[in-house]
Structures are given as structure tokens and as C-alpha cells.
Amino acid sequence: MKRFACIMSVALVALAPIVTAKAIDDRAIVTDFVDRFYTKHDVAGAFAAHVAPDYIQHNPGLPDGPKAAVDALAPMFARPDSRFEVKHLLIDGDLALVHLFGQGKPGTPGAAVADLYRLKGGKVVEHWDVLQLIEPGSDPMAMAPAAPAAKDATTRNRAAFDRFIALLFGKGDVDGAYRQFVASDLIQHNSRMGQGRDAAIAAIKGLRSAPGATFAVQRTLVDGDLAAVHYRGKLSVEDRGAAVVEIFRFDKGRIVEHWDMFQPAPETSRNAHPMF
């Protein structure tokens, strides 16, 4: 009996890491964090529950650590007339992207925002963001009606998105990437581009033709019918560059809708690793 108990103890110890790993549900953690933070405006509660003490911050206006973020954001979110409306939420492995409309002060046009988070051990450990002020008269947060994603959408769309990114960023083949993977009637939410695939191709080829232009992918996410890429874009060798997040919606294997946010890298930063 004693020998059996010893064997069982060893077996349980061996299985413990597997059980622990399965018990961590990043999607549930992110969903609760987003609900507390953006919907209920409980910044302090969201950070206390889900953010690690060694939180790495890439927003150039803030130092590392959760306290600095809470101190900066809690007063803004506490205003009764502030608006923070989540439009899309992508969760892919240990990464999450929150696409939202943010308006800290009434009477201002607000901003299109992409907040990116990395999780480790069930805690948010790193944050990047891209904020773009909304131009008066534009509606970059609009969305076309879309059916719910199929159960196998993530797997199918990840394969297509990986090939799209490889062509567009790896080979610089704008025509090949867009004509193979993007619908001709692309719905465009960038107010600087016209509607449709051909207008997007022309605009992107114009940017990429600048001498010294580079576009370095930092990370990608795919979740259901949504996919996103976070990259550093530079239009010249001397350019400090900008952080860009592009979000795409797939339908039947092709990209049919597009949103993006763009924020130039600043000259100074309050942390040692801004933007990227």
C-alpha cells in the first residue's frame, strides 16, 4: 500500500505542470481584463487582477510598471462623459489586440486606438499601442455587417494571412499579395485611400516606392475572420519611423475589409523600449 501511494505521488507530481498549463485560459483572462478596463472603466481593478508587477510598457509617454499606467489612465476613464468603445478583440496565443474608439474629453474627435498585450503565466506582461486622432468628417471605426466566423475560420485564415504577409512584407509584392488575397470591392476605412483593391494597391505602392522605405513586421494575430499585423514603417533611412497596426476581415478566404492606425515614433520616451 505504501509503495502504491509513493507511485501515485510521483505520477501526480509529473502531471502537475500539464494540469497547471491547461488551467490558464488566456482568452478568459483577456476578456475579463477588457470588460473591467474598457467597459466598466475600472482601470485599477483590471490592472490589479490581471497585470504583472514587472509590466513592460512601450507607450513612449509612460514608464514601465502598472502603477504608471493606472495613474495616467484611471482619471481619464473616470470622467462620466468619456467614451471607450471596443470595436474588435483579437486573441491569438499569448497576444491580444483591442481595437477601440477612445474619447477622453467631450467635444474632441477622439482617436482610433490599437492596444496590444502579451500574456505570460496568466498575467499581462507587456503592452504596445498605436493611437491615431480621427480626422473630422471621417469614420475610420465604421464596420460593415458581417456573419459570425465559422469554427475553422482561424486555421483557414491564418494560412492565407501568413502567405499574404510573406508576399507583401517579405517580398514586397504588393500586386501579388492584394490580387491573390484581397477582394476587388475591398471596404476601406482609411480616409486617405479610395475604396476597392486597386486604390489600396496604388496607395501602398506609392509609399513603398520612397527611397530607403522599410516595413518591418513585429507581430501578427489571427482570430476567426479577423487578422492583424503590427509593424514599423520608415519612409527614408533618416526617418524615425512610425508604429502601424492594420486589421483585416476575411470572408470566404479573401480579405474584404480593412482598418489601420498610424503613430509616428517620438524623439524622446519615458521608457527604454518605445513603440516596438
| Joined grid coordinates for residue 102 | 477612445
Residue 17 pLDDT greater than 90, yes or no: no
Half-sphere exposure of 103 (CA within 13 A, CB side): 14
Residue-averaged pLDDT of the chain = 92
Residue 191 has pLDDT above 70, yes or no: yes
Q: How far is CA 231 from the centre of its chain?
A: 11
C-alpha cell at 114: 490599437
Residues 6-17, mean pLDDT to the nearest whole number: 47
Which architecture does CATH list for 153-264? Roll (3.10)
3-state secondary structure of 46: helix
At 48-72, the pLDDT tens digits run 999 999 999 999 999 999 999 999 9
- Helix, strand or coil, per DSSP, at residue 177: helix
Does residue 144 contact residue 257 with C-beta atoms inside 8 Å?
yes
Report the b/e string of 138-160 with b at 16+ CB within 10 A: eebbeeeeeeebeeebbebbbeb
Topology of 23-133 in CATH?
Nuclear Transport Factor 2; Chain: A, (3.10.450)
Sketch the domain layout of the chain as residue ranges. Answer: 23-133, 153-264
* Per-residue confidence (pLDDT) for residue 260, from 0 to 100: 98
The answer to whether domain 23-133 and domain 153-264 are alike in fold is yes
What is the rounded average pLDDT of the residues 243-252? 98
10 Å Cβ neighbour count for 172? 14
Planar angle of CA 174, 176, 178, nearest 5 degrees: 65
> Which grid cell sits at 5?
501511494
Secondary structure of residue 11 in the 3-state scheme: helix
Q: What is the pLDDT of residues 81-112, one digit of tens each?
A: 999 999 999 999 999 999 999 998 888 889 99
51: which residues sit within 8 A by CB, 6+ positions away? 33, 66, 69, 123, 124
